[in-house]
Chain A
Amino acid sequence: MKKRYLALLSLSLVMLAGELGALELKYRFLPGSVYEYEHTVKRSSRMAAFKTTSSQPPVVDTQKFTLRAIDFQNGSHIIDVVSPTGTYRRYIKENGALAGAPGETGQAIPFLLTLPTADWKVSERHQVQQTLMSGDSALPATWNLMLKSVDTEKQMAEILFALVVKLPEDRIRRKEFTLKGKAVFNYGRGVLQQAEWASSYRFIFNNREMAINRELWLFDHQETGVLKLIEAGSEP
């Protein structure tokens, strides 16, 4: 009888420990607050055609943008993104999905990384699936996310993410596209603290006639992105 109580107690403790290890990650922009980010993009490319090669050295572009948190309505944060190219109104859900972008009507919305609403556990994988359009082709694409570590003291969660998408290919085109990255989410404040990602695109163009196959060109594009929260505070 005593053993049964001990077993039940142990079980409930284990369950409680699991609950304590779980983490909820969601955006919580504070209305009236301003968040300043720095976004750095580095692009490089190279090309090969037989023995002729050409490289475009890395081009770095850094720009700062500011988020003005206006309100929280119907489950969405109302945010103004103030960038050198203009100011854009966004309705952003707590999981990072876009509920609306009235200032960008008609524009293709990026394939956004959304946070699963379930509780996150370290080393547990999550998937977010969407359809991406490439020309006229609809491509199934998946974001794979995994909580790598949690810093309870700083209230930071480190998330690894990777994109899986198969670009359209045929007998003359072979392509590979990969994107991998890491994000540090401040779950205490409900904002993204930092993120880094790198994408690689490789396209081999060849000609095939009957049994003869000749590779003509290779295109290789690399891009890295770094996003950093520089400052967060109230509107002066």
Chain B
Amino acid sequence: MKSRQTKYICIFSIIMATTLLLHVRPVSAQGGSPFDMTSRFKLWLLNNEARAMSSLKADGILADRVNSPFAFMPFNSAPAAMAEEKLWAIHYKFYVLLDEIQAIYTSAKTFGSGRFGILFKQHRPEIWAVMPLQTALPGLTSITAIEYRKAFHAALLKVLNLDASRDADLSTRLQRAVKKLSDEEFRLFDDYLNTFSALYPSDPTARIIATFIESGSKKQFAAALKDFLNPVFTAPVLTDINISNSPLEPDDPLAELEKLAEGAEISTSAPSETPEDTGDEAGNDGQQRAPTTLEPPPEGTEDLFKIWD
């Protein structure tokens, strides 16, 4: 009787542990939710839009009421398109751009270090996934193994919201997103960012967005993501893979992003930089700046460019 109870406890423990692992694994793979770099600016613009729309509508009703001044007239006049609708259409493009910037940043932060890709290569879950089939139908599985692995990889990318063709080069993806705005629209976007920074000097959101666009469009970053996007069909060589030191090695693909981030952080924390200084640094991408000289990010805000910690 006692041994039966022990058996039940064992089975229950295994089920609970499996359930727990199933929940914990995706969380550790994602490495926590990334810093939301756009929402405060986006909410500011949305709130301003809402206030303006509310006033325009209330005043429009009033204008309609006085523009039919005689009791024998029909009171309902046909509605007409107003110029502000173009502004709302431009703002919609900004919201799309902001979402894209956030998505690019999230992908870079989550997968750009290459750690997840290395972990994946070490453990090869696509092989484990077909293991039960291997036992049951060894012949069939060996024929279809590559297709299984491809399908597993494709499904994994889909679950992680990645797209091999889209995310291979995040810098190009960022450029594509920015180019959806015309020059005039981008100038307006930039004016909004400057206005936000002027109104809320302690909030770095707009400066971070501007810096991310400026730096990220010029240089490729999170290059480690490219390896992860391609399915692997060869057997893993575990000696070649060392997860512990790869992300911080200088020749790691993410070093590019680190440089980019440092440059961005310098320009964010030192807005009074002279033009001469900027010109000198253009050649070496601001690498000479020691990180210790940078100002820490404001309290309560996550440091945007520390995306591999």
- On A, residues with C-beta under 8 Å from B are 37, 39, 41, 43, 45-47, 49-52, 54-56, 59, 61, 63, 65, 67, 79, 81, 83, 85, 88, 90, 92, 96-98, 104, 107-113, 132-135, 139, 141, 143, 161, 163, 165, 167, 172-173, 175, 177, 179, 181, 192, 195, 197, 199, 201, 203, 205, 207, 209, 212, 214, 216-217, 219-221, 223, 225, 227
The answer on a CB contact under 8 Å between A96 and B70 is: yes
Interface of chain B: mostly helix, strand, loop or mixed: helix
**Which A residues touch B86, using CB under 8 A?**
47, 54
The answer on a CB contact under 8 Å between B73 and A59 is: no
The answer on a CB contact under 8 Å between A199 and B195 is: no
**Which B residues touch A141, using CB under 8 A?**
66
Known: A41-B78, A52-B87. 4 other contacts (CB 8 A): A52-B185, A90-B71, A201-B63, A209-B199
12 residue pairs bridging A and B, Cβ less than 8 Å apart: A45-B82, A56-B83, A110-B75, A113-B69, A134-B62, A167-B62, A177-B59, A203-B56, A209-B199, A217-B84, A220-B83, A225-B68
The answer on a CB contact under 8 Å between B74 and A85 is: yes
Interface string of B181-211 (1 = CB under 8 A from A): 0001101100100010011100000000000
The answer on a CB contact under 8 Å between A112 and B83 is: no
Could you tell me how many residues of chain B have their Cβ less than 8 Å away from some Cβ of chain A?
44
**Cβ-closest chain A residue relative to B69:** A113
A132 to B195: give the CA distance in the assembly, Å. 35
Give A232 Cβ to nearest chain B Cβ, in Å: 12
**Cβ-closest chain B residue relative to A77:** B72
The answer on a CB contact under 8 Å between B66 and A88 is: no
The answer on a CB contact under 8 Å between A90 and B64 is: no
A98 to B82: give the CA distance in the assembly, Å. 31
Q: A172-B51, A205-B51, A225-B67 are in contact. Are A132 and B62 (CB under 8 A)?
A: yes
The answer on a CB contact under 8 Å between B90 and A67 is: no
Interface string of B262-286 (1 = CB under 8 A from A): 0000000000000000000000000
A179 to B54: give the CA distance in the assembly, Å. 22
For residue B130, CB closer than 8 A to chain A, the reply is no
The answer on a CB contact under 8 Å between B66 and A47 is: no
Q: Given B60, B76, B198, which contacts A85 in the complex, CB threshold below 8 Å?
A: B76
The answer on a CB contact under 8 Å between B71 and A46 is: no
**Which A residues touch B48, using CB under 8 A?**
205, 207, 216
For residue B140, CB closer than 8 A to chain A, the reply is no
The answer on a CB contact under 8 Å between B71 and A92 is: yes
**Which A residues touch B187, using CB under 8 A?**
50-52
The answer on a CB contact under 8 Å between A179 and B73 is: no
Q: Given B58, B64, B74, B199, which contacts A207 in the complex, CB threshold below 8 Å?
A: B199
Q: A173-B55, A199-B67 are in contact. Are A49 and B188 (CB under 8 A)?
A: yes
The answer on a CB contact under 8 Å between B51 and A135 is: no
Q: Given B60, B66, B83, which contacts A179 in the complex, CB threshold below 8 Å?
A: B66
The answer on a CB contact under 8 Å between A65 and B73 is: yes
The answer on a CB contact under 8 Å between B67 and A227 is: no
The answer on a CB contact under 8 Å between B67 and A81 is: no
The answer on a CB contact under 8 Å between A46 and B83 is: yes
For residue B77, CB closer than 8 A to chain A, the reply is yes
Q: Given A45, A214, A220, which contacts B199 in the complex, CB threshold below 8 Å?
A: A214
The 3 closest A-B pairs by CB, nearest first: A135-B58, A47-B83, A113-B69
**Cβ-closest chain B residue relative to A179:** B66
Give B196 Cβ to nearest chain A Cβ, in Å: 9
Q: A52-B184, A52-B188, A134-B58 are in contact. Are A214 and B198 (CB under 8 A)?
A: yes
Give A26 Cβ to nearest chain B Cβ, in Å: 13
**Which B residues touch A134, using CB under 8 A?**
58-59, 61-62
For residue B16, CB closer than 8 A to chain A, the reply is no
The answer on a CB contact under 8 Å between A175 and B59 is: yes
Q: A47-B87, A49-B87 are in contact. Are A107 and B75 (CB under 8 A)?
A: yes
Q: A85-B74, A205-B51, A207-B199 are in contact. Are A111 and B66 (CB under 8 A)?
A: yes
Q: Given B71, B74, B184, B191, which contacts A112 in the complex, CB threshold below 8 Å?
A: B71
